[in-house]
Amino acid sequence: MAIPTSPKERNLNGSAAVAAAVVPAAGRGERLGPGAPKALRELGGVPLLVHAVRALARSRAVGLVVVAAPPDGVAEVVALLDSHGLDGKDVRVVAGGADRQESVRLGLAAVPEEVDIVLVHDAARPLVPVEVVDAVAAAVRAGADAVVPAVPLADTVKRVDPQAPGVPEPVLETPDRSALRAVQTPQGFRRSVLHEVHEKALAEESAGALPPVTDDAGLVERFGGRVVVVPGHEEAFKVTRPLDLVLAEAVLARRRASDGF
């Protein structure tokens, strides 16, 4: 699918035809344990990154996918993506950065100017259903600046006063769980908004301020923008620890058994 090259090239809705997806995939996967970088670890014989890119490419809303690869693994990732059919979508690979925020910024820099909707999706969420991708893109197209998919929490959550390892942590409060959400990706943005908050964060970082955020919507919030939540999906979970890989294998096996996925 081609990226529209002028504002005249519009789809039937009258909005920009396609979104670009940026996929931060440059992490080491420390919490998954020793082995290849997490994005290259296999699930059902296929690297997590390939699952994630396919999940995005399956959406008609997405016309271009930009992968931010481990800086020392760009050629390997290019070869990997070449060897897997990706529905004729435009897939580009750039070198990622030292943290997730930098990887997203570098990926965003490779998105053509005329694309005005950008989704950011973790390579570590290989099984996100296409319905979630579509819903996030649609909410941005409908006018939101920033959209995050999220699910209610199963566990009660407590805020604590962190202590050294082995020292019991005093509980400070128990937030009302009904108003809490666990946030997933893809997160969707008006491109200008995402670009602006990443530039501001970079400027503040070099001025020596502010802790890093763990998601892109967090940057929008930090600089006063409005973020809305749409329903996420339990299968959009992030592969973080070894047990997550066991769960992902089970979900994939169930999909393959039920619909030849």
Nearer to Mg ion, 27 or 37 (CB): 27
Q: Which residue has the tokens 């666990």?
A: 182
* 24 interface partner picked from ligand CTP, Mg ion, none, CB below 5 to 8 A per type: ligand CTP
Cα end-to-end distance, the chain, whole Å: 22
From the CB of 78, what's the least distance to ligand CTP, in Å? Answer: 16
In angstroms, the Cα distances linking 224 to 39, 79, 146, 181 are: 32, 41, 12, 20
* 103 interface partner picked from Mg ion, ligand CTP, none, CB below 5 to 8 A per type: ligand CTP
Region for 223 from its dihedrals, namely left if φ exceeds 0, alpha if ψ lies in -120 to 50, beta otherwise? alpha
Of all residues in the shown chain, the one whose CB is closest to Mg ion is 27
Nearer to Mg ion, 4 or 73 (CB): 73
From the CB of 122, what's the least distance to ligand CTP, in Å? Answer: 4
- Which amino acid is present at 228? V
Contacts to Mg ion by CB under 5 A = 27
* 132 interface partner picked from ligand CTP, Mg ion, none, CB below 5 to 8 A per type: none
The whole-angstrom separation of Cα 73 and Cα 36 is: 11
Nearer to Mg ion, 27 or 232 (CB): 27
From the CB of 143, what's the least distance to ligand CTP, in Å? Answer: 28
From the CB of 149, what's the least distance to ligand CTP, in Å? Answer: 15
Sequence-ordered strand ranges (E) for the chain: 19-24, 42-43, 46-47, 62-69, 90-95, 117-120, 146-152, 159-160, 171-173, 181-183, 187-190, 227-231
CB-based contacts of 205: which residues, under 8 Å, 6+ apart?
none
Of all residues in the shown chain, the one whose CB is closest to ligand CTP is 27
In angstroms, the Cα distances linking 30 to 12, 38, 86, 96, 159 are: 45, 8, 28, 16, 25
Nearer to Mg ion, 24 or 188 (CB): 24
From the CB of 22, what's the least distance to ligand CTP, in Å? Answer: 9
* 97 interface partner picked from ligand CTP, Mg ion, none, CB below 5 to 8 A per type: ligand CTP
From the CB of 188, what's the least distance to ligand CTP, in Å? Answer: 16
* 186 interface partner picked from Mg ion, ligand CTP, none, CB below 5 to 8 A per type: none
Q: Which residue has the tokens 């100017």?
A: 113
From the CB of 68, what's the least distance to Mg ion, in Å? Answer: 13
CB-based contacts of 103: which residues, under 8 Å, 6+ apart?
24, 25, 26, 27, 68, 96, 97
Nearer to Mg ion, 27 or 149 (CB): 27
Handedness of CA 9, 146, 187, 101 (dihedral sign): positive
* 38 interface partner picked from ligand CTP, Mg ion, none, CB below 5 to 8 A per type: ligand CTP
In angstroms, the Cα distances linking 232 to 37, 55, 136, 241 are: 26, 14, 9, 20
Contacts to ligand CTP by CB under 6 A = 24-31, 38-39, 68, 96-100, 103, 122-124, 238, 240
* 89 interface partner picked from ligand CTP, Mg ion, none, CB below 5 to 8 A per type: none
